[in-house]
Amino acid sequence: MGSSLITICGIRLERLPLSPQLEESFVWPTHQEILAAQKEAVPPSGVSQPSEDALWTDDHGKVWIPDVATSLQVRVCVVGHFDIAGHRGILVTQQQIGERFFWTGMRDDIEYFVKKCLHCASTVGGPPQPRLLGEAMHADEPNELIHWDF
């Protein structure tokens, strides 16, 4: 499950969305949201803020995401993992996110996020993943209900 400490594996305490890009509640992370999260946290050493409206970044220009902003971390993982061509693997997702952002335990959090992606698990293989159960539909006449596997 991960550590109970908020600064280590905090993302593991968040609900991971099944199909975030299809959920109406999913909102892309914005400059203002990241800045608001940064203002509520204590910046780590090695980051700076050039102006009051600028994001806190490290020497390489990577944006700092506070450790307590786990919901924001999940949304950054969503953006980094889902691509127009499909879902990215662990290493590519880590690379894409790592080029722009950082937080404590980020690589482990991204690996956890990608391994928990139900869409990836169903196409890549591995141990069976639990699926949400839906209502069973029953037909009374032939061809009243059509079913296909995909």
For 98-108, give one letter per residue: b (16+ CB within 10 A) or e.
Answer: eeebbbbbbee
- Give pTM, 2 decimals: 0.68
Residue 87 has pLDDT above 70, yes or no: yes
- What is the predicted pLDDT for the residue at 4? 45
Residue 1 has pLDDT above 70, yes or no: no
DSSP letters, 70-127, are HHHHHHHHHHHHEETTEE--HHHHHHHHHTTEE-TTHHHHHHHHHHT-HHHHHHH--S
- What is the predicted pLDDT for the residue at 150? 57
> What's the whole-number mean pLDDT along residues 75-94?
86
- What is the predicted pLDDT for the residue at 64? 97
Query: Could you tell me the pLDDT band of residue 79, with boundaries at 50, 70 and 90?
Result: confident
* Residue range 6-52, pLDDT digits in tens: 444 555 555 555 555 556 666 788 999 999 999 999 999 999 999 99
Residue 127 has pLDDT above 70, yes or no: no
* Residue range 43-69, pLDDT digits in tens: 999 999 999 999 999 999 999 999 999
Place of tokens 């950054």: 76
Residue 83 has pLDDT above 70, yes or no: yes
The answer as to CATH 1.10.357 being correct for domain 10-124 is no
- What is the predicted pLDDT for the residue at 15? 58
C-alpha 119/C-alpha 138 separation (Å) is: 27
Percent of the chain with pLDDT over 70: 71
Residue 86 has pLDDT above 60, yes or no: yes
